[in-house]
Structure 1
Amino acid sequence: MPSFRPHPTPTPCCCLLQVELLAPAVTGTANVLRACSEAKVRRVVVVSSLSAVMVNPAWPQSQAMDEACWSDVELCRSTQNWYCLSKTLAELEAFDHAKSTGLDVVSLCPSLVIGPLLQSTLNASSSVIADCLKGDREVKLKLRNFVDVRDVADALLLVYEAPEASGRYICDAHARQVSDVVELLRSWYPACKNASSKFVQVSDEPFFSSKKLEALGWKFRPFEETLRDSVESFREAGVLD
């Protein structure tokens, strides 16, 4: 596992981003874990992200990324991939804290989380699907990895309660081309006149393995169920109008 090393001489731009994104992610994680240690919490499950896994060009392209793969911190810095950097540093901080204090820390790294909304507004993940139907934004065509929010909730309970759970767990259910998702939505909702026609082709996301989580007993819904429940939830919330 890579060690957490703060950037030694940040530029003014980097300083601003650290204040807005990096510092809260790392410091916030440290503060919560410190409080958990003081309260003698049995186990802490840290919700990380595949963003802390996927930025690693050294990983063999023919091999699905697993829990041993970490995003390259210095590459994230040099490419100004601040979101992936923040997730990676926060997760590293969590395991550094676990090593130094003995706190039982397990992390879960979900892919793009979609599914029924609890709130009345779209979050960033759900917007990936909503944008395919609304037609007012450019849609990135690439292979994406999806997981249902309900299946993520099941995974969180599983890694918290299973005595044998340890380390990291990738939580990814479905790899789908966005172009196939668009076609599926059009077949279900032919009356949707605003379906997107603004497309841009970008690089695919890598493949991931959730075998470690599945070995604990994790199961996930079919993609079609997740996608349909997502859209029906958007319609009920009125966010597609």
Structure 2
Amino acid sequence: MTDLVTLADGGPVSATAQSLAEVLRARVRPVPVEGGLDDADLARRLVAALGDPGAVAGALAAPGEPDAPGWSVIARADKPVLLVPPHTGAGRARIGRALLPLDGRPESAQAVREFAALLDLAGVRLLVLHVFDATTVPLFWDQRTHAHSAWTAEFLHRCGTPPGTRIELRSGVPAEHVHTVARAEDVDLIVLGWSRVTGAGRARTVRESVLYAPAPVVLLPVGPASGTGAAGAAADAAG
């Protein structure tokens, strides 16, 4: 059996990690840590544990600030990492709904595709969110036409989401809509692809999306260095 490694805290992180492990058909393997460690030290412990061949994902509390040193350490992980913001409560006993924000890029879709299949296999209801900006909003945006339905069907097909996946379309700032839709739909998990770039701009947007999210967030590595990660390994184990 494969492992979801987590820092042994016995709190919301452990509870949510157990729920995600059930989805991935993995077991939770706590990593003992001593007190007094900062965000960066905790992240280093987790990333080191993710180097084990049997580890398919990791879980820890989200770093407390968008510019916290722990983010640059988490970026070294080439497997999915579950981050639990401090305000999300006692943890999720079960993952029943998941939000998948997708920007339409092939690399983002590839990163999310296998993970979405595992969620679907576990009976999790999936909701894709796509946010247009001023340069990508289609001509039919303000009209209820056949083109609207055709576009959404083609988008879901292109992203490779499982049959029955719902989609919500918005226009504006992605992070704001992620939070709004996640709250409105009362999701238990948000799944985000990220490039692991630790500079300004998009990377900071991802960090703020995590810190202020109303639910735990799984960050999926996007790019050649990510490998198959938890999705591929857990799918092999489940099969």
Identify the TM-score tier after normalising by the shorter chain. Answer: under 0.3
Structure showing the higher helix proportion among its residues: 1
TM-score, with structure 1 as normaliser: 0.26
Structure showing the higher strand proportion among its residues: 2
TM-score, with structure 2 as normaliser: 0.26
